[in-house]
Protein backbone atom coordinates (compact mmCIF):
# COMPACT_ATOMS: atom_id res chain seq x y z
CA UNK A 1 0.00 0.00 0.00
CA UNK A 2 1.22 3.52 -0.82
CA UNK A 3 0.35 6.62 1.15
CA UNK A 4 -1.75 7.84 -1.82
CA UNK A 5 -4.08 4.91 -1.17
CA UNK A 6 -4.72 6.10 2.39
CA UNK A 7 -8.18 7.62 2.46
CA UNK A 8 -8.78 7.89 6.15
CA UNK A 9 -6.55 8.38 9.18
CA UNK A 10 -7.61 8.01 12.80
CA UNK A 11 -5.64 9.83 15.48
CA UNK A 12 -6.37 8.45 18.93
CA UNK A 13 -5.80 11.02 21.67
CA UNK A 14 -6.39 14.76 21.27
CA UNK A 15 -3.80 15.94 23.80
CA UNK A 16 -0.52 17.84 23.43
CA UNK A 17 0.53 15.80 20.39
CA UNK A 18 -2.65 14.21 19.03
CA UNK A 19 -4.57 17.40 18.21
CA UNK A 20 -1.68 18.72 16.10
CA UNK A 21 -0.95 15.38 14.41
CA UNK A 22 -4.64 15.18 13.43
CA UNK A 23 -4.61 18.71 12.05
CA UNK A 24 -1.39 18.01 10.13
CA UNK A 25 -3.12 14.98 8.53
CA UNK A 26 -6.19 17.03 7.58
CA UNK A 27 -4.02 19.82 6.17
CA UNK A 28 -2.18 17.24 4.05
CA UNK A 29 -5.49 16.20 2.47
CA UNK A 30 -6.41 13.10 4.49
CA UNK A 31 -9.87 12.52 5.89
CA UNK A 32 -9.05 12.47 9.59
CA UNK A 33 -10.88 11.51 12.69
CA UNK A 34 -9.51 12.67 16.03
CA UNK A 35 -10.73 10.62 18.97
CA UNK A 36 -10.44 11.19 22.70
CA UNK A 37 -12.33 9.76 25.66
CA UNK A 38 -12.47 13.25 27.17
CA UNK A 39 -15.05 15.61 25.73
CA UNK A 40 -13.17 18.56 27.22
CA UNK A 41 -9.97 17.54 25.42
CA UNK A 42 -11.86 17.24 22.13
CA UNK A 43 -13.38 20.68 22.63
CA UNK A 44 -9.90 22.09 23.25
CA UNK A 45 -8.60 20.39 20.10
CA UNK A 46 -11.48 21.74 18.03
CA UNK A 47 -10.99 25.19 19.56
CA UNK A 48 -7.32 25.07 18.59
CA UNK A 49 -8.21 24.15 15.00
CA UNK A 50 -10.73 27.00 14.84
CA UNK A 51 -8.16 29.57 15.89
CA UNK A 52 -5.12 28.05 14.16
CA UNK A 53 -6.57 27.83 10.63
CA UNK A 54 -7.79 31.45 10.38
CA UNK A 55 -4.46 32.49 11.92
CA UNK A 56 -2.61 30.74 9.07
CA UNK A 57 -4.89 32.43 6.54
CA UNK A 58 -4.30 35.85 8.15
CA UNK A 59 -0.53 35.20 8.05
CA UNK A 60 -0.76 34.38 4.33
CA UNK A 61 0.46 30.79 4.95
CA UNK A 62 -2.77 29.15 3.82
CA UNK A 63 -5.54 30.01 1.36
CA UNK A 64 -9.00 30.45 2.77
CA UNK A 65 -10.37 27.51 0.76
CA UNK A 66 -7.49 25.28 1.94
CA UNK A 67 -8.29 26.15 5.54
CA UNK A 68 -11.99 25.44 4.99
CA UNK A 69 -11.24 22.11 3.29
CA UNK A 70 -8.90 21.05 6.11
CA UNK A 71 -11.56 21.89 8.70
CA UNK A 72 -14.12 19.86 6.75
CA UNK A 73 -11.75 16.88 6.56
CA UNK A 74 -11.20 16.78 10.34
CA UNK A 75 -13.85 15.35 12.64
CA UNK A 76 -13.78 14.91 16.40
CA UNK A 77 -15.34 12.01 18.24
CA UNK A 78 -15.42 10.32 21.62
CA UNK A 79 -16.08 6.98 19.92
CA UNK A 80 -13.13 4.75 19.04
CA UNK A 81 -15.52 2.74 16.82
CA UNK A 82 -16.46 5.77 14.80
CA UNK A 83 -12.87 7.00 14.49
CA UNK A 84 -11.27 3.70 13.45
CA UNK A 85 -13.82 1.58 11.64
CA UNK A 86 -12.91 2.95 8.18
CA UNK A 87 -9.35 3.99 8.93
CA UNK A 88 -6.51 2.85 6.68
CA UNK A 89 -3.92 4.16 9.12
CA UNK A 90 -4.23 4.75 12.86
CA UNK A 91 -1.87 6.91 14.92
CA UNK A 92 -2.26 6.38 18.65
CA UNK A 93 -1.22 9.38 20.77
CA UNK A 94 -2.80 8.76 24.16
CA UNK A 95 -1.02 9.35 27.49
CA UNK A 96 2.12 7.34 28.19
CA UNK A 97 0.44 4.49 30.04
CA UNK A 98 1.39 1.07 28.73
CA UNK A 99 -1.72 -0.74 29.98
CA UNK A 100 -3.97 1.89 28.41
CA UNK A 101 -2.08 1.69 25.13
CA UNK A 102 -2.30 -2.12 25.14
CA UNK A 103 -6.02 -1.97 25.74
CA UNK A 104 -6.48 0.57 22.95
CA UNK A 105 -4.40 -1.49 20.51
CA UNK A 106 -6.48 -4.59 21.31
CA UNK A 107 -9.69 -2.63 20.74
CA UNK A 108 -8.37 -1.02 17.57
CA UNK A 109 -7.44 -4.46 16.26
CA UNK A 110 -11.08 -5.47 16.54
CA UNK A 111 -12.42 -2.28 14.97
CA UNK A 112 -10.05 -1.14 12.20
CA UNK A 113 -10.07 -2.80 8.75
CA UNK A 114 -7.67 -5.77 8.46
CA UNK A 115 -5.25 -3.81 6.22
CA UNK A 116 -4.96 -0.83 8.59
CA UNK A 117 -1.60 0.07 10.10
CA UNK A 118 -1.61 0.68 13.86
CA UNK A 119 1.18 3.12 14.73
CA UNK A 120 2.04 4.54 18.13
CA UNK A 121 3.34 8.05 18.73
CA UNK A 122 4.74 6.98 22.11
CA UNK A 123 7.93 8.82 23.08
CA UNK A 124 9.48 5.73 24.65
CA UNK A 125 7.37 2.55 24.45
CA UNK A 126 8.62 0.47 21.54
CA UNK A 127 5.83 -1.03 19.47
CA UNK A 128 6.80 -4.64 20.30
CA UNK A 129 5.22 -3.91 23.71
CA UNK A 130 1.93 -3.33 21.87
CA UNK A 131 2.06 -5.63 18.85
CA UNK A 132 1.15 -8.68 20.95
CA UNK A 133 -2.19 -7.09 21.85
CA UNK A 134 -3.17 -7.40 18.18
CA UNK A 135 -3.48 -10.13 15.58
CA UNK A 136 -1.62 -7.95 13.08
CA UNK A 137 1.90 -7.45 14.49
CA UNK A 138 3.33 -6.98 10.99
CA UNK A 139 1.18 -3.84 10.70
CA UNK A 140 2.33 -2.32 14.01
CA UNK A 141 5.14 0.25 14.29
CA UNK A 142 6.27 3.42 16.04
CA UNK A 143 5.68 6.76 14.33
CA UNK A 144 7.01 9.39 16.69
CA UNK A 145 6.29 13.08 16.10
CA UNK A 146 7.84 16.05 17.91
CA UNK A 147 6.26 18.94 19.73
CA UNK A 148 4.79 21.12 18.27
CA UNK A 149 3.81 18.48 15.74
CA UNK A 150 2.55 20.99 13.16
CA UNK A 151 5.97 22.61 13.07
CA UNK A 152 8.68 20.04 13.76
CA UNK A 153 9.85 18.27 10.61
CA UNK A 154 11.26 15.14 12.20
CA UNK A 155 9.27 11.92 12.54
CA UNK A 156 10.97 8.77 13.86
CA UNK A 157 9.65 5.58 12.31
CA UNK A 158 10.78 2.50 14.22
CA UNK A 159 10.70 -0.89 12.58
CA UNK A 160 10.34 -3.49 15.32
CA UNK A 161 11.23 -7.16 14.82
CA UNK A 162 7.52 -7.84 14.18
CA UNK A 163 7.03 -4.90 11.77
CA UNK A 164 6.83 -5.72 8.07
CA UNK A 165 9.29 -3.59 6.04
CA UNK A 166 6.27 -2.48 3.94
CA UNK A 167 4.60 -1.10 7.09
CA UNK A 168 7.66 0.99 7.99
CA UNK A 169 7.93 2.14 4.36
CA UNK A 170 4.27 3.19 4.40
CA UNK A 171 4.75 5.14 7.66
CA UNK A 172 7.80 6.88 6.11
CA UNK A 173 5.80 7.66 2.97
CA UNK A 174 2.87 9.01 5.00
CA UNK A 175 5.21 11.22 7.05
CA UNK A 176 6.59 12.69 3.81
CA UNK A 177 3.04 13.39 2.63
CA UNK A 178 2.55 15.29 5.89
CA UNK A 179 5.51 17.50 4.88
CA UNK A 180 7.88 15.84 7.35
CA UNK A 181 11.43 14.55 6.96
CA UNK A 182 11.16 11.12 8.57
CA UNK A 183 14.06 8.99 9.79
CA UNK A 184 14.01 5.20 9.97
CA UNK A 185 15.24 3.21 12.97
CA UNK A 186 16.04 -0.30 11.85
CA UNK A 187 16.06 -1.57 15.44
CA UNK A 188 14.04 -0.83 18.54
CA UNK A 189 15.96 1.10 21.17
CA UNK A 190 14.77 2.91 24.29
CA UNK A 191 14.29 6.67 23.61
CA UNK A 192 14.77 6.21 19.86
CA UNK A 193 17.28 8.73 18.41
CA UNK A 194 16.14 12.16 19.48
CA UNK A 195 15.04 11.58 23.06
CA UNK A 196 18.30 9.74 23.79
CA UNK A 197 20.27 12.80 22.69
CA UNK A 198 17.83 15.24 24.31
CA UNK A 199 17.93 13.29 27.60
CA UNK A 200 21.69 13.80 27.87
CA UNK A 201 21.25 17.56 27.36
CA UNK A 202 18.36 17.81 29.84
CA UNK A 203 20.16 15.69 32.45
CA UNK A 204 23.21 17.93 32.32
CA UNK A 205 21.05 21.08 32.48
CA UNK A 206 19.19 19.67 35.52
CA UNK A 207 22.49 18.74 37.19
CA UNK A 208 23.72 22.33 36.74
CA UNK A 209 20.45 23.68 38.17
CA UNK A 210 20.19 21.17 41.05
CA UNK A 211 23.77 21.85 42.14
CA UNK A 212 23.16 25.61 42.14
CA UNK A 213 25.67 26.40 39.38
CA UNK A 214 23.26 28.62 37.40
CA UNK A 215 19.58 29.52 37.09
CA UNK A 216 17.24 27.84 34.61
CA UNK A 217 16.99 31.16 32.75
CA UNK A 218 20.77 31.46 32.37
CA UNK A 219 21.23 27.84 31.35
CA UNK A 220 18.52 28.32 28.68
CA UNK A 221 20.11 31.60 27.57
CA UNK A 222 23.51 29.92 27.21
CA UNK A 223 22.15 27.00 25.17
CA UNK A 224 20.25 29.34 22.82
CA UNK A 225 23.07 31.82 22.35
CA UNK A 226 26.07 29.48 22.40
CA UNK A 227 24.67 26.37 20.72
CA UNK A 228 22.03 27.95 18.49
CA UNK A 229 19.16 25.79 19.79
CA UNK A 230 15.77 27.46 19.20
CA UNK A 231 14.98 27.18 22.91
CA UNK A 232 16.88 26.08 26.01
CA UNK A 233 16.30 22.73 27.79
CA UNK A 234 14.03 24.16 30.52
CA UNK A 235 11.74 26.03 28.12
CA UNK A 236 11.66 22.86 26.05
CA UNK A 237 10.69 20.71 29.05
CA UNK A 238 7.90 23.20 29.74
CA UNK A 239 6.76 22.77 26.13
CA UNK A 240 6.87 18.98 26.01
CA UNK A 241 5.65 18.54 29.61
CA UNK A 242 7.58 17.92 32.84
CA UNK A 243 5.24 14.95 33.43
CA UNK A 244 6.70 13.45 30.25
CA UNK A 245 10.28 14.08 31.46
CA UNK A 246 9.33 12.35 34.74
CA UNK A 247 7.80 9.31 33.03
CA UNK A 248 10.66 8.98 30.53
CA UNK A 249 13.21 8.92 33.39
CA UNK A 250 11.10 6.52 35.49
CA UNK A 251 10.70 4.16 32.54
CA UNK A 252 14.44 4.26 31.91
CA UNK A 253 15.10 3.59 35.63
CA UNK A 254 12.63 0.66 35.64
CA UNK A 255 14.52 -0.76 32.67
CA UNK A 256 18.07 -0.30 33.93
CA UNK A 257 17.65 -0.30 37.73
CA UNK A 258 20.41 2.35 37.75
CA UNK A 259 19.63 5.04 40.39
CA UNK A 260 21.40 7.58 38.16
CA UNK A 261 18.53 7.17 35.68
CA UNK A 262 15.92 8.31 38.22
CA UNK A 263 14.29 11.70 37.50
CA UNK A 264 16.22 14.64 38.99
CA UNK A 265 14.99 16.06 42.33
CA UNK A 266 13.71 19.19 40.57
CA UNK A 267 11.70 17.14 38.07
CA UNK A 268 10.21 15.01 40.88
CA UNK A 269 9.29 18.14 42.86
CA UNK A 270 7.62 19.79 39.88
CA UNK A 271 5.87 16.56 38.89
CA UNK A 272 4.42 16.11 42.39
CA UNK A 273 3.33 19.77 42.57
CA UNK A 274 1.54 19.46 39.21
CA UNK A 275 3.82 22.11 37.69
CA UNK A 276 4.09 20.33 34.37
CA UNK A 277 4.90 23.28 32.12
CA UNK A 278 2.73 25.18 29.63
CA UNK A 279 -0.16 22.74 29.92
CA UNK A 280 -0.65 23.52 33.62
CA UNK A 281 0.30 27.21 33.43
CA UNK A 282 3.57 26.77 35.35
CA UNK A 283 6.76 24.76 35.03
CA UNK A 284 10.22 26.25 35.09
CA UNK A 285 8.51 29.42 33.82
CA UNK A 286 5.16 31.00 34.61
CA UNK A 287 2.54 30.97 31.81
CA UNK A 288 -0.44 32.13 33.85
CA UNK A 289 -0.53 35.52 32.07
CA UNK A 290 -0.63 33.98 28.56
Residues 123, 127, 142, 264: which is the catalytic one? 123
Sign of the dihedral defined by the CA atoms of residues 192, 194, 195, 196, in that order: positive
| Among 174, 150, 147, CA closest to 70 | 150
What ranges in 37-152 are assigned the alpha helix state H? 39-58, 64-73, 80-84, 98-111, 128-131
Q: List phi, psi (to 5°) of 197.
A: -70, -45
| 225 to 254: interface string for ligand CAA, x by CB under 6 A | -----xx----x---x--------------
Q: Does 59 bind ligand CAA (CB under 6 A)?
A: yes
- 181 membership: H or E segment, kind and range: strand 181-185
Q: Does 95 bind ligand CAA (CB under 6 A)?
A: no
Q: Looking at residue 261, what DSSP letter applies?
A: G
List all residues 6 or more positions away from 287 whose beta carbon is below 8 Å from its beta carbon: 238, 277, 278, 281
Give the three-state DSSP class for 129: helix
Active site residue 79: no
Q: Does 75 bind ligand CAA (CB under 6 A)?
A: no
User: Which 131-150 positions form the footprint of ligand CAA (CB under 6 A)?
Assistant: 146-148, 150
DSSP 23-61: HHHHHTT-EEEEE-S-HHHHHHHHHHHHHHHHHHHHTTS
Identify the residue among 61, 115, 200, 273 touching ligand CAA (CB under 6 A): 61
Active site residue 258: no
Active site residue 115: no
- Give the whole-angstrom CA distance, residue 207 versus residue 187: 30
- Rounded least distance, CB 100 to ligand CAA, Å: 17
Total of chain residues touching ligand CAA, rule CB under 6 A: 15
Q: Does 58 bind ligand CAA (CB under 6 A)?
A: no
Q: In terms of CB distance, is 30 or 192 closer to ligand CAA? A: 192
Q: Does 193 bind ligand CAA (CB under 6 A)?
A: no
- Rounded least distance, CB 52 to ligand CAA, Å: 7
Active site residue 195: yes
Q: In terms of CB distance, is 212 or 230 closer to ligand CAA? A: 230
- Rounded least distance, CB 286 to ligand CAA, Å: 17
- Rounded least distance, CB 45 to ligand CAA, Å: 12
* Neighbouring C-beta atoms of residue 192, cutoff 10 Å: 20
Q: Does 202 bind ligand CAA (CB under 6 A)?
A: no
For 199-220, b/e burial (b = at least 16 CB within 10 A) is beebbebbebbeeeeeebeebb
Q: Does 200 bind ligand CAA (CB under 6 A)?
A: no
Residues of this chain that interact with ligand CAA (CB under 6 A) are 59, 61, 123, 146-148, 150-152, 195, 198, 230-231, 236, 240
Q: What residues are labeled active site? A: 123, 144, 156, 195
Amino acid sequence: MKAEAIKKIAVIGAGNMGHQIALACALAGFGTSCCDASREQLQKAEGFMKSYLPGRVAKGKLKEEEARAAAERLTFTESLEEAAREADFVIEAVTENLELKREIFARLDGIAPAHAVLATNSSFFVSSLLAGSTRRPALVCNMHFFNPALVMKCVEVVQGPHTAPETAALAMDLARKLGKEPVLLKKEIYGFLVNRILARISEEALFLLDTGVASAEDIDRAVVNALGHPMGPFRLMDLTGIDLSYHIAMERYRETGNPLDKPSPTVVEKYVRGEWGRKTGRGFYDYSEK
